[in-house]
Structure 1
C-alpha cells in the first residue's frame, strides 16, 4: 500500500509499505480523507520535533523516523480483529489518534490526552492517516453515520477547538476573543459559537483569514495593525475585557495581547503549540489575577463534536480549501499551505 513517510526535515516520500492487519481488539481502517495539520508542516519544515528518532524511539510504539504522517482522518472499517464488538465492516468512522500508557495518573484520571508517554498516531510510528490502510485499537474508533467522509476528517481539528472552549469555563452568553484566524483559531471560534458564547471576537491581520472569521462565528474581527486590540476589546465588552481569550498563534506578542484583553479574573487559554520558549511578562497575569490555561488536543470530546456536525450546528465544509491525492501531498499540500497559508484553511488528502 502507499503511505506518505517523513524521513527528516523537508523530506516526505510516498512509499510502498506492507498492509497492516489487526490484532485482537484492533480495527483496520481504509482511509478516506486525511487533513494536513500544522503539526505535519512543523515536522516537514523543522523536524524531527515530535517525531521520535531511531536513537530515541517512542516508548509505546518503538517507532522512529521514518514514520507515516497524518492524524486528522476518516475512513471505513475494512477488517476487524478478534474480540471487536459494536463495529462492522463498512462502517464509516473517525479515530482519536492516540497511543497512551493507560497506567499514569493522567490516564487513570481519564485525561489520557496528557498521558506521560503520550504518542499520536501519525507522529509516532508506522500507523498514520496518509496511508491507504492503518490499524488502531477499537477504543479510539467512533462511528460517524450521517457525516460525509470529508466532514469526518474535520472532526479531529474541531475537537481541538471544542476541548479548549470547555476548558475555558466560559458561561453561556459570555464574551470570548480568539487570537489568530488560522485553522485552529477558526474551529475554536466555531466551537464557541456552537456552545453558547454571547460575543465572539477574532483578532487577525491577514486579509484572507479575516474574511473567513465571520463564517466561523465571529461577531467582530479586529486587525491588530489597525487598532489597539486590548482597548478595542474593552470597548466591545463595556470596559471589562473578554471573559475568556484564546491564543492560537504561538507568538509572544499575541500571547501578551490576549492576556491584556482578558477581563480581571478571567481566563486565557493557550491552544497553540509553540516552536520556541515564550517570552512573557508574568506580572500581567498576577496584577489582574488572570488564569493562563494550557489546552492539548482533546479527551472524551469526539461524540459531542460529531453530533455538533451531524446536527448542522457547526458547518465544517467551509473550512475545506483543497482536495488532493496522496502523490501530490508535498507540492500541492505541504508547499501550498506553507507558501499560501493565508488563503488556505484545510487541505484534505485522499490516499
Structure 2
C-alpha cells in the first residue's frame, strides 16, 4: 500500500469491515478547517483495543469501523488559524474527541466527557497515509525521538494515567496482570514511581521475559502456577499494595482483587470482551480494598512526552515487529498468534 495507490484527491484508509477482515477504503482529501492539521503518517502502532475491534468484540466499536489511533507523523498542511505547529514539525496525536461543554469537560476531566469519542470511531483511523486532527490534540515530538516511538506516546499516556491515578508511592509493592504493551508500560512506570517490587503475570513466556527486562522482580506464568498463591507466598501472605488489571478477564480481575493486601487498591485498564463478570464483592468490606477504573488519559500526553524527553523511559524494546501498510492484515494476525512472540507491531510509512 503506497501513497500513490489512489488519486491526489483520495487516499486509502483501513477499516475492519467484518470480524478478521481489513479493507482499505478510499477517503476524500477534504479542505482543512481553520484549526485543523493534516499530517503524513510516518508510523502507526496496533493497539490491544484494535485487536478487540479486529475480532468484532470491542463493546464500543461496532463494525464496520476505521481502525488505528496510535500514530506519529509529519505536519504537511495547516488550517488558516493554526498557531501551535507548522509544516515540517514531527508530531504525535491525542485521538480523543471531547465536546468541551459538558460538566466533566468544564471541570477539566475531558476523558470522562459525556459525549466522548475517538477519531477512529468517526471515520479517521490511523492506518492511512494522511491523518487530520485539531491542533489542540497535536503534540511535537522531542528531539531524537523516532516516529515509531512517537506512535507509542498514546499507550504510554494510558499507562501513565492509570499509575498516577492509583496513588502508588515510593516503596509500594505491585502486581501487573497482563504483559501486553499496556501492562509492560505500567511495569516500566512503576519502576520509576515506586521502586518497590513488581510482579508481572501472563500466560506467555516471551512476554514475561520482557516484563523482567523492563523492571518486574518476578514473572508468574498464570497457567503453570496460581498467580494468587505465588504473590501471597512471595509477600509472606500479606499481598501487594497495588494491582493493575490489563487483561480484561474474570479470572485475572478476581486475582487482582484477591492478591491485594488489606487496604490495597486495584486499578482496572483491560477491556472485557465478555461482560458482566463475577466479582468477589465481600473482599471490599473484609479487606477494605478499593477498585478504580482508569479511562484513557486526561492531560497526560505532555507528561508522557516529558518523561521521554528526559530519557526516563525507553520504548524501543516494546517494538517487536515492523510492517508496511499493505501488510496490515498479517500484522493483526501476527499479534494474535502467540508463536510470533509479538508485543507491539508498528506500521512504518514514508
TM-score with structure 2 setting the length: 0.91
1:232 maps to which of 230, 233, 239: 230
Equivalent residue, structure 2, for 1:55: none
Does the residue aligned with 2:179 lie in a helix, a strand or coil?
coil
5 Å-filtered alignment, 1:262-273, equals 262-273=260-271
Alignment partners' CA distance in 2, 1:156 and 1:236: 33
5 Å-filtered alignment, 1:1-351, equals 1-47=11-57, 49-51=59-61, 66-122=64-120, 124-146=121-143, 147-277=145-275, 278-331=277-330, 333-340=331-338, 343-351=341-349
The CA RMSD measured in Å over matched residues stands at 1.7
Q: 1:6 deviation in Å? A: 2.4
Does the residue aligned with 2:55 lie in a helix, a strand or coil?
helix
Q: 1:49 deviation in Å? A: 3.9
CA deviation profile, 1:59-90 (whole Å, cap 9, x unmatched)? xxxxxx64431100001111111211131111
The answer as to whether partners of 2:168 and 2:193 remain within 8 angstroms in 1 is no
CA deviation profile, 1:217-266 (whole Å, cap 9, x unmatched)? 11111223344433432343354321110011111111111111111111
Alignment partners' CA distance in 2, 1:48 and 1:256: 21
Paired residues, number: 337
Q: 1:48 deviation in Å? A: 6.7
Does the residue aligned with 1:315 lie in a helix, a strand or coil?
coil
Does the residue aligned with 1:17 lie in a helix, a strand or coil?
strand
Alignment partners' CA distance in 1, 2:335 and 2:301: 26
Alignment partners' CA distance in 1, 2:58 and 2:197: 39
Does the residue aligned with 1:150 lie in a helix, a strand or coil?
helix
Does the residue aligned with 1:84 lie in a helix, a strand or coil?
coil
CA 1:160–1:323 in structure 2 vs 1: closer, same or farther (change >3 Å)?
Answer: same
Equivalent residue, structure 2, for 1:61: none
Does the residue aligned with 2:104 lie in a helix, a strand or coil?
helix
Does the residue aligned with 2:122 lie in a helix, a strand or coil?
coil
Does the residue aligned with 1:221 lie in a helix, a strand or coil?
strand
Alignment partners' CA distance in 1, 2:21 and 2:226: 41
Does the residue aligned with 2:28 lie in a helix, a strand or coil?
coil
The answer as to whether partners of 2:59 and 2:273 remain within 8 angstroms in 1 is no
Does the residue aligned with 1:134 lie in a helix, a strand or coil?
strand
Alignment partners' CA distance in 1, 2:139 and 2:192: 21
Alignment partners' CA distance in 1, 2:91 and 2:186: 23
The answer as to whether partners of 1:154 and 1:316 remain within 8 angstroms in 2 is yes
Structure 1: tracts of 5 or more residues without a match: 53-64
Deviating more after overlay: 311-320 vs 336-345? 336-345
Q: 1:128 deviation in Å? A: 1.8
CA 1:231–1:342 in structure 2 vs 1: closer, same or farther (change >3 Å)?
Answer: farther
Q: 1:307 deviation in Å? A: 1.9
CA 1:171–1:6 in structure 2 vs 1: closer, same or farther (change >3 Å)?
Answer: same
TM-score with structure 1 setting the length: 0.91
Q: 1:195 deviation in Å? A: 2.0
Alignment partners' CA distance in 2, 1:279 and 1:159: 29
Does the residue aligned with 1:306 lie in a helix, a strand or coil?
helix
Alignment partners' CA distance in 2, 1:223 and 1:44: 26
CA deviation profile, 1:169-223 (whole Å, cap 9, x unmatched)? 0112211110111121111111111223322111123211111111221111122
